[in-house]
Amino acid sequence: MDKSKSETKYKVGIISFNTHTINSNFGAALHSFAFQKYLNGIGISSVIIRYRRFYFKFDSRLFFRHFPLCFFMLFFRFIKQLKFDKFFKKHCVVSENIYNRDTISDMEDMAELYCCETDITWCRLVGGGKYYDRAFMCDYPHMKGKDNIAFSVDFGSGLIETENQKQLFEYAKNFKYISFRNIFKLDYIKDILKRDDACTIIDSVFLLDEADYLPYVKEPKIKEDYVFVYNCKENNPEMVERAKKFAKENNLKIKIVNCFDKNYKKFFDGIPTPISIEEYLGLIKSAKYIFTNSYHGICFSIIFKKNFYAFSRISNNEKILILTELFGLNDRYVADGCLSPILKNEIDYEKVYVILKKLQKEARDWLKHAVGV
């Protein structure tokens, strides 16, 4: 950290995953972008704190054993990260310095209040025992004692162990306002936190309308109608095969984008696709159909009114089901091993948007109240 660079004071300091995820996750970057852009629109100054939560360990044995694959992974990650950084530098207000768990305690107090903004920021880290990330809990001296906000946070799948419940209860005292995005577990978490004021709020990407994203869309080079396949968290080979079959049956092209490098079965299936945020938005906006196991892939399919099919994933499948339940789209969920044909039916977005507008207004009103507008 370059301590010679002092930070400007803002109304809200936004802390979440943003660009600094293991494989530069599109959804993580875009929810922080959307949150800040919405705050700008209501006259609230904010800064996205560049926080690198993860430590990267280089395993030389693994690297040299799988050298060709590892080389491509690292190279494409690097290219993708450069594109993410360029997007944030151009379109967002970010902290001068990049912080991690060792340096964030030395961070200048750059905001009147801090907001832990959406995603699975309240899940436990693993490594040297299970624990919560104190940055996402606003538990550092420069963060505590303020009217802090937890906006649409999530704690992942499963239940919380008793010891961790006690920790979470104490950390929640750092927040004046708390909202979650898991509609299935609101009563459960309210009981743990002893907070009747906690509520559910949709993800930050929904704070913006479709028109708000259009200036940041880069149209794809594909001119024919195509199926967009977006693999996130785990590469789902069944989803890819079913998408290919669907595309062939309907005379469509296919475009596959991978985000993470887990569970690959073929050499290039595990390579993170090094496209930009603008290209990602463009691929969703122009797609005829979308096959995805990504939470935010579904979110942007809804925002751009796309016919999508949601596939399961190994970890935290719960949040996929939350979205399909929330918008009355359970018929778009395709469980692994379900061999029934994927029908070429249209989503009734007039009905979906009635739900979206209601949820969007609730989220906007809640946030305005929390930041004092």
pLDDT tens digits, 174-219: 999 999 999 999 999 999 999 999 999 999 999 999 999 999 999 9
- Asked whether residue 161 is domain-assigned, the answer is yes
Please, which residues have CB within 8 angstroms of residue 180's CB and are 6 or more apart in sequence? 150, 152, 153, 154, 155, 186, 189, 198, 199, 200, 201
**Average pLDDT of 345-362?**
97
- Asked whether residue 5 is domain-assigned, the answer is no
Q: Does the structure show a pLDDT above 90 at 338?
A: no
By residue range, what is the domain housing residue 240? 214-354
**Average pLDDT of 329-355?**
87
Same domain, 276 and 290: yes
Same domain, 69 and 126: yes
Domains in the chain, number: 2
231, 256 Cβ separation under 8 angstroms? yes
29, 277 Cβ separation under 8 angstroms? yes
Same domain, 166 and 230: no
**Average pLDDT of 61-71?**
49
- Asked whether residue 1 is domain-assigned, the answer is no
Positive or negative torsion for Cα 55, 193, 31, 227:
positive
Q: Which of 131-135, 207-211, 339-343, 364-368 has the lowest mean pLDDT?
A: 339-343
**Residue 259 pLDDT class (50, 70, 90 cuts):** confident
46, 31 Cβ separation under 8 angstroms? no
Same domain, 174 and 238: no
Query: What is the token pair recorded at 304?
Result: 């751009």
Same domain, 128 and 183: yes
Residue position matching structure tokens 């009734």: 348
Residue 59 has a pLDDT of 44
Residue 161 has a pLDDT of 86
- Asked whether residue 20 is domain-assigned, the answer is yes
- Asked whether residue 157 is domain-assigned, the answer is yes
Q: Which of 4-13, 95-104, 224-233, 305-314 has the lowest mean pLDDT?
A: 4-13
Q: What is the pTM of this model?
A: 0.90
Cβ count near 144 (within 10 Å): 13
**Average pLDDT of 237-253?**
92
Same domain, 187 and 58: yes
Q: Does the structure show a pLDDT above 60 at 66?
A: no
Same domain, 302 and 339: yes
Same domain, 270 and 138: no
Please spell the DSSP secondary structure of 170-181, one letter per residue.
HHGGGEEEEEES
Q: What is the separation of C-alpha 121 from the centre of its chain, rounded to a whole number of angstroms?
A: 10
- Asked whether residue 4 is domain-assigned, the answer is no
344, 225 Cβ separation under 8 angstroms? no
Please, which residues have CB within 8 angstroms of residue 84's CB and are 6 or more apart in sequence? 19, 24, 29, 276, 277
Strand partners, 254: 227
Residue 1 has a pLDDT of 41
Q: Does the structure show a pLDDT above 90 at 44?
A: yes
Domain CATH for 238? 3.40.50
Same domain, 27 and 134: yes
Q: Does the structure show a pLDDT above 90 at 46?
A: yes
Residue 127 has a pLDDT of 52
Same domain, 289 and 178: no
Mean per-residue pLDDT over the chain, rounded = 87
Residue 78 has a pLDDT of 80
Q: Which residue has the higher pLDDT, 208 or 63?
A: 208
Helix (H) or strand (E) holding 148: strand 148-153
- pLDDT above 90 covers a percentage of the chain that reads 64
Residue 273 has a pLDDT of 79
107, 9 Cβ separation under 8 angstroms? no
Q: Which of 35-49, 121-135, 165-179, 181-195 has the lowest mean pLDDT?
A: 121-135
Please, which residues have CB within 8 angstroms of residue 115's CB and are 6 or more apart in sequence? 12, 13, 14, 15, 35, 148, 149, 150, 151
Same domain, 128 and 258: no
Same domain, 175 and 80: yes
Q: 331: which DSSP letter?
A: G
- Give, rounded to a whole angstrom, the gap between the first and last alpha carbons of the chain: 34
**Average pLDDT of 66-77?**
62
**Residue 48 pLDDT class (50, 70, 90 cuts):** very high
Residue 268 has a pLDDT of 52
